[in-house]
Amino acid sequence: VLWDSNEFPQAASLDLVVNDRPIWLTRVDGHAAWANSLAMELAGINDGMEDPVGGQIIRDENGKATGVFVDTAMVYVREQIPSMSFEEEKIALTTALNSLATYGITSVHDAGIGSSTLAAYKELVSEAPLPIRVYAMIAASDPLYQDRLAEGFFHSEDMTFAVESVKVVADGALGSRGAALIEDYYDSPGYRGLLRYNDERLEYLIRAAMNADFQVATHAIGDDANMRVLDNYERMIGETDSKNRRHRIEHAQILRYEDILRFAELDVIPSMQATHATSDKNMAEDRLGPVRIQGAYAWRKLLDSGARIANGSDFPVEHPNPFYGLHASVTRQDQQSSPPGGWYAEESMTLEEALASFTIDAAYAGHQEAHLGTLEPGKKADFIVLDRDIFTQSPTQLWQTQVQETWVDGVRVSAQN
């Protein structure tokens, strides 16, 4: 479902299509959702409900809920939806991992799993090696967060499943105007987005993980959220002597120039997703204006400052195909070669840099570079077979690359034919 990026839809328009069943449609980035009137009625939504911390109920000029819920406000409706059973979750995980293998993915970082998903992974890996390797992050939002930290790291004997990181969420997304900005949104004067937690709670979640020696990976998109996370990291890395844990910021999407420099200074990894830039190019400047956009999706500035970028897809927000990400990293264009010359092409990567960001630097971000990320004696035989040499074709054709075979630990886990 698509609509104009400057105006959210309403429950009334969804009611015209379906009004006899509850409908709940999640925005592609997972940071907003759209309900019809019956879904809101069943969830007990009323005009007197307050916005939760870190969330927003979109309302009309009369204060009536329109049907769109942003970030933490989504829980009002989402908690009414039945959860998967444990067996269903195991099936879903296995299906997803097998599907990812077909795109040439041999390792994935699963950012923000709850206790149920952790238990499902552990049971699966006790039965057989996972199809591809999973580096999982405990969700800081899990009610049993402290219990999970107390359990410490987990590494399966076959090295297909590892847990030594946590995922914290600092703000929302740019498209739904949930990203926390220092100044007003360019297209929404007086509004600066949403911080998921107050300062005390954010500090508590980060400090608890660092004290337990876990790597901290914090979602931050807006420049205000990134600044606050870096401030917390700078203070607490020294207090906990945890610089070697290679703490991360997931997305690091909109940055002040002075904060760009802090990543290398603090050994913090900007964990970024190249296709976010090519997907967001149609609305990002509307949200940020011509000045702040210079610090958005700033891969070249980060690399030149000495930072080490870990690239990925943020699936299911973007397509998991890594060759889509390589293409976006190098060309700053979508698959229709738009815009000509690339969107802020001065921030692009070379193909070598892009490939490293998806392989050895991503392995480094998961403390796995001794075993993964390059093909050399002594490392795991995780590799893929392609239909072409990506170094001899036009960069504009990178996204068309086809994966013929995927191998993990010397075992073929996927084949096109």
Q: Are 25 and 33 in contact (CB under 8 A)?
A: yes
Least confident of 12-16, 92-96, 170-174, 196-200: 12-16
**Rounded Cα–Cα distance for residues 305 and 268 (Å):** 12
> CB burial class (10 A; 0-12, 13-18, 19+) of residue 96?
middle
Give the model's confidence band at 168: pLDDT under 50 very low, under 70 low, under 90 confident, else very high: very high
Label the pairing between strands 403-408 and 411-415.
antiparallel
Q: What is the pLDDT of residues 397-409, one digit of tens each?
A: 999 999 999 999 9
Amino acid 47: pLDDT: 87
Amino acid 134: pLDDT: 99
Pick 79 or 203 by higher pLDDT: 203
Between the CA of residue 225 and those of 16, 103, 107, 208, 252, what are the distances in Å? 38, 32, 28, 19, 9
Q: What is the pLDDT of residues 287-322, one digit of tens each?
A: 999 999 999 999 999 999 999 999 999 999 999 999
Amino acid 320: pLDDT: 97
Residue 1 has pLDDT above 80, yes or no: no
> CB burial class (10 A; 0-12, 13-18, 19+) of residue 205?
buried
CATH 3.20.20.140 fits 86-365, yes or no: yes
Q: Are 32 and 49 in contact (CB under 8 A)?
A: no
Residues 377-392, mean pLDDT to the nearest whole number: 98
Q: What is the pLDDT of residues 87-107, one digit of tens each?
A: 999 999 999 999 999 999 999
Residue 368 has pLDDT above 80, yes or no: yes
**Rounded Cα–Cα distance for residues 23 and 11 (Å):** 9
Q: What is the pLDDT of residues 235-250, one digit of tens each?
A: 999 999 999 999 999 9
Average pLDDT score over the chain: 96
Amino acid 279: pLDDT: 96
Residue ranges per structural domain of the chain: 11-78, 86-365, 383-415
Query: What are the b/e assignments for 238-260, b being 16+ CB within 10 Å?
Result: eebebeebbbbbbbbbbbbeebb
**Rounded Cα–Cα distance for residues 144 and 333 (Å):** 42
Amino acid 293: pLDDT: 98
Amino acid 4: pLDDT: 61
